[in-house]
Amino acid sequence: MRNFDVERGLARLTLMERIRAFEETARHAAVEEELVLGAIHLSIGQEAVAVGVTESLRKDDYITSTHRGHGHTLAKGADATAMMKELLGREGGCCGGKGGSMHIADFGVGMLGANGVVSANITIAAGAAHGVKLLGGDQVTVCFFGDGAANRGPFLEGINWAGVFELPILFVCEDNQYSASTKTSDMTSGNVADRARAIGLPVTEIDGNDVEEIATKSAEIIARIRATGKPEFMLAKTYRLDGHTYFDPATYRPEGEADRMRRESDPVSRQRELLQEAGVSETDLDAVRTTATAEMQAALDAAKAAPWPADDTVFNDVQDVGSPAQEAF
Amino acid sequence: MTVMTYAEAARLAVAEAMRADDRVWCVGEDLGRGGVFKQYAGLPEEFGPKRISDAPISEACIMGAAFGAALVGTRPIVEMRFADFALCATDELVNQIAKARFMFGGQSRAPMVIRKPMGMWRSSAAQHSQSLESWYAHIPGLVVCCPATPQDNYSMMRAAIECDDPVVYLEHKNIWMMEGEVDTSLKAEFGKAQIRRTGSDVTLVSWSHTANLCVEAAETLAGKGISAEVIDLVSLWPWDKAAVLESVNKTGRLIVAHESVAVGGFGAEVVATMAQSTTFKSPPQRLGSPRSLIAYAPNLEDKLRVTADMIAGAATKSMESVA
Ligand SMILES: Cc1ncc(C[n+]2csc(CCOP(=O)(O)OP(=O)(O)O)c2C)c(N)n1
Ligand SMILES: [Mg+2]
């Protein structure tokens, strides 16, 4: 058995359980209560990447995320209640009920936004790192994106940009093997890690369901990026245990694939087992889950109790100059 | 007052802003050599390669990265080289930059100036000549400017750089070398039109280079005893409805002229808005390009141009017809 710090291992489990509980609660609110209005994309099965990578980030470091962004956002330190309110479109949501799941953001913790457009967050992240460099800061930016996103142009443009300008950024490709209903490898020539190598970025390929490994490697990589100011690339092999959206039965997957992955490489179960082997009692491990579930249930209760945003906020925060509120016509 | 060209006027405004504020920087292809139209000449020497930054031929990333850099506290000026190439960065501008502040519930701002040299210039054909200002006016979140003179290119650039909203800044390629007096104490106000000439018989509304043609047309009309008022909107969003309304209330006649395609052009917006607000002595008219594609051969290109003669002709006709 690996030798590891139990306390840290527990902290990692706790954050993964919080993400899982957040998404299971949100799924329940969507399916059973029809309270979540738009599509939500769950990262169930992929929590280890968000948790392992962000562990070495400071609050003033930046991340950008994707349509599957709840895990990254929570891991960066956003408030679960404000996030849940956002999913329900309520006042007090982190985006005032204007964005929903796909535009979740918390600039206060350096979370510069999820994105409804696949791959679009890659150039934005490169730019955040560029801005940091221009301003003389030492923050690191992490860009999370999916395996499918590597087939859009902004992927090439963004990683080339980071290489050219030598920017302090870590690109993290969460390879969950699927792009919506498509097996990504069917639509990808060559492989994503080689693309990054061809651009000249150091690449780390990693088991994306092993939070210990991800956290350890990320600590090294992020420290190196902070010291050198140069970009790196991580390819994390993981698996999306749920459908693409919460209402996708994902019948396009081979019979038994998801069940096998759930049994063999669910990152939450794996971390629990590791902790159990290290002597943490089942009761203590169950308590982690119970606490996380209670936190997210309370977040949902608070979100349900919150009112809709005031009608005329639809005219706010469009622009200062020529804002809809100023327009009589 | 100093005489300078349209290109020099904007360059001066950029240089002054960069001297005053370290957060302002420019990024685009070939900027390190002063830009393809020399509108950044001298700036690389003064500010160095970090603040007058070259870029790979990656329009989407120029726009997207500038946006990311704006989100963390810089104030980028983005050079798109030709307005036509900005279409490669449409998602970044329309889906990201224009929407971020709203989607994120007011958590962020994108204080950016996005320069897009536009318009017909020297047989540049269909992919280097377009005027797409009406597209941007249609997008909530964006400010849209189309200056027509050295003075306005100076004063409006100053205002655009100071603005906390993303500003789509369309400079007309045909007038880079146009000279004019520039008063460097002036800063433009968005949505404040320039009355380029006062008159009482007919109102000519325009922007960008076509506004200059309206001034020419007004001179011709004066020779025929027709007094035309020329309103140069300078900014299309916001636009100066009050100035146009006041003028049309006085003249009762309205001609809107622009280089871009007439169908779905911003002229339609101006005419429709006035139709909801006032009455006319003769039917308002809009002049724009036929809905065809900009051609290479000069005679073909000319078939699509709105000229000073056409504007004067439309104004003369409006004096004869009755609403
Ligand atoms: C530009 C663009 N094209 C298509 C879509 C629709 N879409 C949303 S998510 C998705 C799959 C993305 O796959 P991947 O990048 O691997 O991320 P994952 O969903 O697996 O996390 C698609 C095609 C989109 N949102 N944006
Ligand atoms: Mg995927």
pLDDT of residue B203: 98
CA distance linking residue A289 with residue B113, whole number of Å: 49
CA proximity to B259, closest of B153, B118, B149: B118
CA distance linking residue B77 with residue B75, whole number of Å: 7
CA distance linking residue B116 with residue B236, whole number of Å: 15
Give residue limits of the domains in chain A. 6-310
Neighbour-count burial for A174-209, b at 16+ CB within 10 Å, e otherwise: bbbbbbeeeebeeebeeebbebbeebebebbbbbbb
CA proximity to B72, closest of A318, A67, A141, A71: A141
Residues 6+ apart with CB under 8 A from A176: A45, A46, A146, A147, A238, A239, A240
Do A320 and A49 touch, CB atoms closer than 8 A? no
Q: How far is B24 from chain A (nearest CA, A)?
A: 10
As a whole number of angstroms, the longest Cα–Cα distance in chain A is 70
- What is the distance, to the nearest Å, from the Cα of residue B284 to the centroid of all Cα atoms in its chain? 23
pLDDT of residue A326: 64
Residues lining ligand 1, CB < 6 A?
Answer: A 66-68, 116-118, 146-149, 176, 178-180, 184, 240, 244
> Using CB atoms and an 8 Å cut-off, which of residues 29-68 of chain A contact chain B?
62, 64
**Residue A131 C-alpha to ligand 2 middle, in angstroms?**
28
Name the closest-CA residue to atom 22, ligand 1.
A180
Beta strand B194-197 with B228-232: parallel, antiparallel or unpaired? antiparallel
Share of chain A above pLDDT 70, in %: 98
CA distance linking residue A262 with residue A278, whole number of Å: 22
Could you tell me the fold of the domain covering B2-182? Answer: Rossmann fold (3.40.50)
CA distance linking residue A327 with residue B5, whole number of Å: 35
CA proximity to B95, closest of A92, A161, A124, A65: A124
Q: Give yes or no for B60 touching A (CB within 8 A).
A: yes
Tell the CATH superfamily of the A6-310 domain.
Thiamin diphosphate (ThDP)-binding fold, Pyr/PP domains (3.40.50.970)
Using one digit for the tens of pLDDT, what is the confidence trace for A183-204?
999 999 999 999 999 999 999 9
B128 catalytically annotated: yes
Measured between alpha carbons, how far apart are the two ends of chain A, in Å? Answer: 70
CATH code 3.40.50.920 region(s) in chain B: 194-320
Which residue out of A67, A103, A175, A239 has the highest number of ligand 1 atoms within 8 Å of its CB and is therefore the one to mutate? Answer: A67
Which residue do the tokens 């360059």 mark?
B11
Using one digit for the tens of pLDDT, what is the confidence trace for B108-136?
999 999 999 999 998 999 999 999 999 99
Question: Reading across the β-sheet that carries A203-207, which strands appear in turn?
Answer: A62-64, A141-146, A169-175, A232-237, A203-207
CA proximity to A225, closest of A145, A133, A149, A119: A133
pLDDT of residue A1: 47
pLDDT over threshold 70, residue A206:
yes
| Predicted confidence band of residue A305 (pLDDT cuts 50, 70, 90) | very high
Distances (CA, A) of A225 to A64, A207, A221, B68, B72: 17, 21, 6, 19, 18
**Residue A79 C-alpha to ligand 1 middle, in angstroms?**
26
Name which CATH class applies to B194-320. Answer: alpha beta
Q: pTM score, two decimals?
A: 0.97
Residues 6+ apart with CB under 8 A from B138: none
CA distance linking residue B98 with residue B92, whole number of Å: 9
| Predicted confidence band of residue A329 (pLDDT cuts 50, 70, 90) | very low
Minimum Cα–Cα distance from A313: chain B residue: B105
- Say yes or no for a CB contact (<8 Å) between B74 and A134: yes
> CA torsion sign, A309 to A313 to A314 to A320?
negative
**Residue A178 C-alpha to ligand 2 middle, in angstroms?**
4
Amino acid at B37: F
Residue among A108, A124, A318 minimizing CB distance to B64: A124
**DSSP label of A327:** -
If you average pLDDT over every residue of chain B, what do you get?
97
